[in-house]
Amino acid sequence: MKKFPRSAYVHIPFCHRRCFYCDFAVIPLGNKIESLNGNGSKTVKEYLNFLNKEILSIKHKSPLSTIYIGGGTPSILNPLQINDLINLFRENYRIDYGAEITMEVDPASFNEEDLHGFIKAGINRFSLGAQSFNNQILDQAGRRHSRQDIEKSCFWLKRAYEVGLIKSWSLDLIQNLPSSGFEQWQEDLEKSLSFRPPHISIYDLTIESGTVFKKLVDLGKLSLPNDDESFKNSEITNSILKKSGYSRYEISNYSLPGHQSRHNRVYWSGLGWWSFGQGSTSSPWGEKFTRPRISKDYKKWVTEQCEIKLDPSLLNQENIYKELDEKIMLGMRLKEGINIYKLINEQNWDDKKSKISLKILLKEWDRFIESGHLIKRGNRFFLSDPKGMELSNPILVSMFRWWEKVS
């Protein structure tokens, strides 16, 4: 019998406006939002109504050890709405004692009173989307907040952590944004470290289709760091954070001891998770399912879930399992890497296919071991840090090519 999912992701799609690099399923509502009563409140309440229905539609409920409320901008919601959401899980799924309950917050979308309201509702870990401390860079990225907003938010979170009101908090930055040169990036890192967040996420900028940045790139109007500059930024990131006591436990994530994100490790470890909300992706039993990204389609889907039948991916079926290529891809993001022999044995291939397939993959990976990008210790393979973690794509591409041949 498969283990029931113990983690839930909840997508709150509302934003004040869409950032220039963002291709997420979000609903921009403008700068003046009052989610309980006032601007945007009708849209928010209607969405939460359908979200609650979806959460209650699950048949195989089990106590949760992690909940992650992401977006969008969840801190647009009022603390009372966050309280109602967490109580829905508490009353219908149950929440483990000591569970990690994370909420993404955006500078300038909440104040210190809101923060304490979120904590009272049950949030014990926050992820602050700073992206940069430079006002010019923030403006060019379409962000609404300023350096001053970030500094105030960091101060509130740091104080809440130090007095024991929350278990942890994370600061998120985006590396290689337009106008973010080597010196500016170092300043961002040093400013971040001045607040000593227990967890830091460093995401590389990616240019996604349909975004403002993609249009500017196509027009030749966006200046971005070249590959050498990007790698130099990555090297200094790794060096500065390691010297400051942070461990790189995943390609994009660093933490002080005891502050790894328990929720995100569920994804990378290949375990099952629930997911709720417009555009979100769940994988409770191994098969992924992404909900509609458009509001009217999502609401129609929720109605069908409740009135007709659940999507098959949400049912406990013994024949569903995660594809080996995905297990390898996710596992290789982690510091500890993967036991490739164990993963292949779990495929239920016959001995001949297992041996031949493994031999082909290991031969393909020999060149990455020789170049120092990949390390083999016993039965485990993992990316070297920083070289392998910064240049992991060739290794993963070779694996996907191998998978196409043997699957």
The phi and psi torsions of 289 (rounded to 5 degrees) equal -145, 125
- 61 and 137 together in one domain: yes
For residue 288, tell me if it sits in a domain. Answer: no
Same domain? For 161 and 256 the reply is yes
Q: Are residues 91 and 197 in the same domain?
A: yes
Tell me, yes or no, whether 111 and 176 share the same domain: yes
Most trustworthy range by pLDDT among 4-8, 46-50, 60-64 = 46-50
Scan for tokens 């923030």, then name that residue: 138
Q: Is the predicted pLDDT of residue 322 greater than 80, yes or no?
A: no
Q: In the predicted model, what is the mean pLDDT of residues 7-28?
A: 94
Look at residue 330 and tell me if it is in a domain: yes
Q: Please determine, for residue 346, whether its predicted confidence score (pLDDT) is greater than 90.
A: no
Pick the last residue of a domain from 226, 245, 268.
268
In terms of domains, do 249 and 350 share one?
A: no
Q: Among 268, 283, 316, where does a domain finish?
A: 268
Of the three residues 225, 244, 268, the one that is the final residue of a domain is 268
At residue 286, the pLDDT reads: 82
Q: What is the 3-state secondary structure (H, E, C) of the chain?
A: CCCCCCEEEEEECEECCCCCCCCCCCEECCCCCCCCCCCCHHHHHHHHHHHHHHHHHCCCCCCEEEEEEEECCHHHCCHHHHHHHHHHHHHHCCEEEEEEEEEEECCCCCCHHHHHHHHHHCCCEEEEEEECCCHHHHHHCCCCCCHHHHHHHHHHHHHHHHCCCCCEEEEEEEECCCCCCHHHHHHHHHHHHCCCCCEEEEEECCCCCCCHHHHHHHCCCCCCCCHHHHHHHHHHHHHHHHHCCCEEEECCEEECCCCCCHHHHHHHCCCCEEEECCCCEEECCCCCEECCCCHHHHHHHHHHHHHCCCCHHHCCCCCCCCCHHHHHHHHCCECCCEEHHHHHHCCCCCHHHHHHHHHHHHHHHHHHHHHCCEEEECCEEEECCCHHHHCCHHHHHHHHHHHHHHC
Token digits for 380?
Answer: 């485990």
User: Are residue 81 and residue 169 in the same domain, yes or no?
Assistant: yes
Residue 335 lies in a domain: yes
Same domain, 254 and 334: no
Domain encompassing residue 42: 7-268
Kindly state whether residues 13 and 127 are assigned to the same domain.
Answer: yes
- Same domain? For 259 and 328 the reply is no
Would 300 be classed as within a structural domain? no
Report the CATH number that the domain containing residue 137 is assigned in CATH: 3.30.750.200
Kindly state whether residues 140 and 57 are assigned to the same domain.
yes
Q: Is residue 273 part of a domain?
A: no
Chain segment 101-119, per-residue pLDDT in tens:
999 999 999 999 999 999 9
Here the CATH number for the domain that contains residue 402 is 1.10.10
Supply the pTM of this predicted model. Answer: 0.93
What pLDDT shows up at residue 314? Answer: 87
The total of structural domains in the chain comes to: 2
Instruction: Let me know if residue 396 belongs to a domain.
Output: yes
328 lies in the same domain as 250 = no
